[in-house]
Structure 1
Amino acid sequence: MNDLCLTHARIVTPQGIVSGCLSVLDGKISHIGGKQPARQEVDAGGKLLLPGLVDLHVHFNEPGRTDWEGWAHGSAAAAAGGVTTVVEMPLNAVPATINAQALALKVAAAGASSCVDFGLWGGLVCDNRAELPELLDGGVLGLKAFMYETGDPSFPAAHDGILYSGMAQLAVRDLPLLVHAENSQIIHTLMADFQAAGRSDRQAWLDAHPPISEVEAVARVLLLARATGCRLHIVHVSLPQAAQLIVDAQNAGQNVTFEVCAHHLTLTETDFLELGAVAKCGPPLRSAADVDGLWELLLTGRINSLASDHSPCPSAMKPDGSIWDAWGGINGVQLTLPLLMTEAQQRGLSAEAAAQLVARYASHNPAHIAGLPGKGAIGVGLDADLVLFDPEAVWTLRAADLKSLHPWSPFLGREFTGKVERVWLRGQTLYGGGAVAGGMRGAWVRPAGV
């Protein structure tokens, strides 16, 4: 007797779309095909059944900044968006996750409040190299470093020497280094020049992040990783020319992957100039031609993963005055799936083709990159992390729909085609009827052997 049987579903598997039933026993997928007896039966009504999304790039800002988001609200937003596993970044929490003591605090916060499964990245900063062995032994899935100086004293950028040395430590353990690749000197020199000239307009933010600032940093970090043999993952790539450098390195045999965020696939610099601070992010939104170029790479299989870079803050930190004063981040984890499904269909894909694309690049590949066995796909023996998605539902985003603590978004008022209807985490109902199930607690996922 199974615990759950979903009938009349269009099941999105790595092998293709399967019409039929899916059964769950003890939190695992036990059967795909014909109907089997179960204690609970749910009629999917011919809708799509996708694997739960795996988002490798979220900022939930706890411990320390629960007024920004926190694990309870952040994980609820993830659940409502069909994201069943998140891997949280080490910065913006207080303290930042750059040593074993801070990791213990992060684990306690997430374990007490997260309703989705979670993994954690540690931080490589200038200079915590002596802390890295205990941090890595503690169960982080890899490390994150900035080449760009954000101005956060708790998470200073790692200069090339620190990057090189940290990469050497990670190479021994076969764990990845995630890198925010932007040239800090170019950007900060331009910012200082613009500010000295009295500029605080929205265009100044774009002008301070010219394409060369990203392209050069990507080229440089690829060289460093190649020299050390370190696994490299470059986050939020926003330019086709930067992405192509990584694709070329992959074709030459380098162990490197990269992600593109949903907002860089669905918003342009024109949107930023119209919307202002609510759409400020780093790297910034790019041209319509760049967005089209990223979609060409995605549709031809040359982008490795998709993520949200969910980075919320209190609304007061997104003022409409000086663009330099506004927090740079997008509230996005709840919207990745509907955004990608809507945009893909607008670009000519069928709902089924769009679902297969999302399943591969927002579920399967991220799980593989982070080393999360049992996650990211629908198959017998894998975790029953499932999303029932209605591809025909047409709806308009309202602030009341968002589960984030601060329900602002550059996508408010946007019409979507396709909606998350129900979500299961390891076979248990996580979301349905517009509400997150009470009492659900996610599990901490760690590298094998930790």
Structure 2
Amino acid sequence: MSGLLVIVGDNVLLPDDKVPRPATVVVDLTSGKITTISPSRASRSSFPENVQWIDAGSKYVLPGLVDSHVHLNEPGRTDWEGFWTGTRAAASGGVTTVVDMPLNSIPPTVTASNLQIKRDAAYNQCFTDVAFWGGVIPNHQNHLKPLVDAGVKGFKCFLIESGVEEFPCVVEEDLKAAMDVLQDLPTTLLFHAELEHPSHEASPAVSTHPTLYSTFLASRPQTLEVDAISLVTRLQKSYPRLRCHIVHLSAASALPLVREAKASGVNLTVETCFHYLCLAADSIPDGQPQFKCCPPVREEGNRQLLWDALLDGTIDCVVSDHSPCVAELKKLDKGDIMEAWGGISTLGLGLSLLWTEGRKRGVGIGKIIDWTSKKSAQHASLDHVKGALKVGYDADIIIWDADAQFTVTKESLNFKNKLSPYEGQTLFGTVEKTLLRGHVVYDKENGFTAGTPIGKLL
């Protein structure tokens, strides 16, 4: 579509601003790029009659979110989630770019040919832009450079069993073999940082009943994360050119290690997730496996320490780790938390969750967008085109009603398997419109307005 789109508003969040301000954003709809930003509201009469015009009024105009930790599972486990449903859910929550994890699809993204299979499956199905992580598994180091050449944004590995047999975990020798290859490539190594030792045991005082959340929590103690991050930071001393990244940090007891590593100049970044910032083990009812994820949601005091670390910059960004499955695998009929699949579904809710929780702490929208858009775009090496309202960047834009409230219901969820620990919660903030490269892909009143998905495979 040719022509211009002009967006005016009283509360536009521009780069490096902590609070929104009046501005005008002009978009070339042919390129999908932002061409001009003016620090005031323009009048309609100053543009040609045929220009497309959005007046956001007092609603916020924000850059689209970049969710750099999403499991879309297609092909192979498309009944869990797929590109069509997952990206629709993302767009409904203001996410305009997702980065897909190398599991739990079949085949996993551990070779260039497997990446092409995934790209073929995603073609013409995406309502957001989609990029891809590759995977590191044992004895696969010869496939790493071809994956970089094919465009993956980095590589994820597991230091504990992943839960799917086609993506086995790695040990230290596997890591060294992979890091030898990766250290001279423009890439990043991501760690599911839980490391199990025989000495890691649940407290004998804790019940072993599988429906109790306390049983599950005790089975994944914070020491697993501490020991894993200790290994990562030790290895980094031998590979200082390679950026390493800790995915979904949940254990506050690992924060001193992270702070020490960053202070020493180690090239380390860290993410946490919406559920670790918005849920607490103390409030999780027994027999409700929809709250299970790995590593687990921990106690209220731990949650506060994660918020502190986010605010002081120890934690870099916030992502969903949207990790869905079919209802049967959640063992809802038995309430068996220990046997259930570990993953929380969040696509479409993240911005509202973080805004609702952040308001209680006096956290402004500028900080939240920094964590969910700017920093996550940097992490995925997309910050040259994504993560900010900036001239030359993709016009990925949200119109956001910060004061609107809604209650999470099954019917309001747009991902495939409608299981969520947030069902019944009342949240602040709704997306009025989501624009991808200047084109509306989601509208609160009219739903998904694009007849054909326009998301690109990055």
Same fold (TM over 0.5): yes
What's 2:379 paired with? 369
Q: 1:405 to 1:173 in 2, by over 3 A?
A: same
What's 1:392 paired with? 403
CA distance in 2, matches of 1:275, 1:50: 39
For residue 72 of structure 1, what is the amino acid of its counterpart? Answer: W
1:174: how far off? 2.8
What's 2:16 paired with? 15
Identify the match of residue 437 of structure 2 among 426, 429, 433: 426
1:261 has 2:280 as partner? no
Structure 2 unaligned segments of length 5 or more: list them: none
Structure 1 unaligned segments of length 5 or more: list them: 446-450
What SS class does the counterpart of residue 324 from structure 1 fall into? Answer: coil
Identity of aligned residues (%): 37
What's 1:207 paired with? 218
1:9: how far off? 3.7
8 Å contact from structure 1 (residues 265, 294) kept in 2 = yes
What's 1:96 paired with? 108
For residue 392 of structure 2, what is the amino acid of its counterpart? Answer: G
What SS class does the counterpart of residue 288 from structure 2 fall into? Answer: helix
8 Å contact from structure 2 (residues 61, 398) kept in 1 = yes
Which string of whole-angstrom CA distances, capped at 9 and with x for unpartnered residues, describes residues 371-402 of structure 1? Answer: 11210011111110001110110111111111
For residue 410 of structure 1, what is the amino acid of its counterpart? Answer: P
Q: For structure 1, which segment, 224-233 or 174-183, has the greater mean C-alpha deviation from structure 2 after superposition?
A: 224-233
What's 2:128 paired with? 116
Which string of whole-angstrom CA distances, capped at 9 and with x for unpartnered residues, describes residues 292-314 of structure 1? Answer: 11111222233201100000111
CA distance in 1, matches of 2:219, 2:187: 33
TM-score, length basis structure 2: 0.92
1:59: how far off? 0.2
For residue 355 of structure 2, what is the amino acid of its counterpart? Answer: M
What's 2:7 paired with? 6
CA distance in 2, matches of 1:396, 1:29: 34
1:227 has 2:230 as partner? no
What's 2:360 paired with? 346
CA distance in 1, matches of 2:164, 2:405: 41
What's 1:335 paired with? 349
CA distance in 1, matches of 2:283, 2:448: 31
What's 1:44 paired with? 56
For residue 139 of structure 1, what is the amino acid of its counterpart? Answer: G
Identify the match of residue 381 of structure 1 among 380, 392, 396: 392
What's 2:366 paired with? 356
Q: For structure 1, which segment, 90-99 or 36-45, has the greater mean C-alpha deviation from structure 2 after superposition?
A: 36-45
What SS class does the counterpart of residue 123 from structure 2 fall into? Answer: helix
Identify the match of residue 298 of structure 2 among 286, 291, 299: 286
Which string of whole-angstrom CA distances, capped at 9 and with x for unpartnered residues, describes residues 16-47 of structure 1? Answer: 12212211113111222242526111110211
TM-score, length basis structure 1: 0.93
Identify the match of residue 87 of structure 2 among 70, 75, 90: 75
CA distance in 2, matches of 1:206, 1:96: 28
What SS class does the counterpart of residue 328 from structure 1 fall into? Answer: coil
Q: For structure 1, which segment, 319-328 or 389-398, has the greater mean C-alpha deviation from structure 2 after superposition?
A: 319-328
1:30 has 2:35 as partner? yes
8 Å contact from structure 1 (residues 423, 431) kept in 2 = yes
For residue 207 of structure 1, what is the amino acid of its counterpart? Answer: A
CA distance in 1, matches of 2:396, 2:165: 38
1:344: how far off? 0.4
Q: 1:181 to 1:392 in 2, by over 3 A?
A: same
1:443 has 2:456 as partner? yes
What's 2:340 paired with? 326
CA distance in 1, matches of 2:409, 2:271: 28
CA distance in 2, matches of 1:152, 1:190: 23
Q: Any residues of structure 2 matched to 1:125-164 within 5 Å, and which?
A: 125-164=137-176
For residue 11 of structure 1, what is the amino acid of its counterpart? Answer: V
8 Å contact from structure 1 (residues 237, 259) kept in 2 = yes
1:185: how far off? 3.2
Which string of whole-angstrom CA distances, capped at 9 and with x for unpartnered residues, describes residues 195-234 of structure 1? Answer: 9977564322111111111111111111112212221011
8 Å contact from structure 1 (residues 5, 41) kept in 2 = yes
CA distance in 1, matches of 2:185, 2:290: 39
For residue 309 of structure 1, what is the amino acid of its counterpart? Answer: D
What's 1:406 paired with? 417
CA distance in 2, matches of 1:133, 1:15: 35
8 Å contact from structure 1 (residues 272, 280) kept in 2 = no
8 Å contact from structure 1 (residues 28, 380) kept in 2 = yes
CA distance in 1, matches of 2:331, 2:283: 17
CA RMSD of aligned residues (A): 2.1
8 Å contact from structure 1 (residues 203, 273) kept in 2 = no
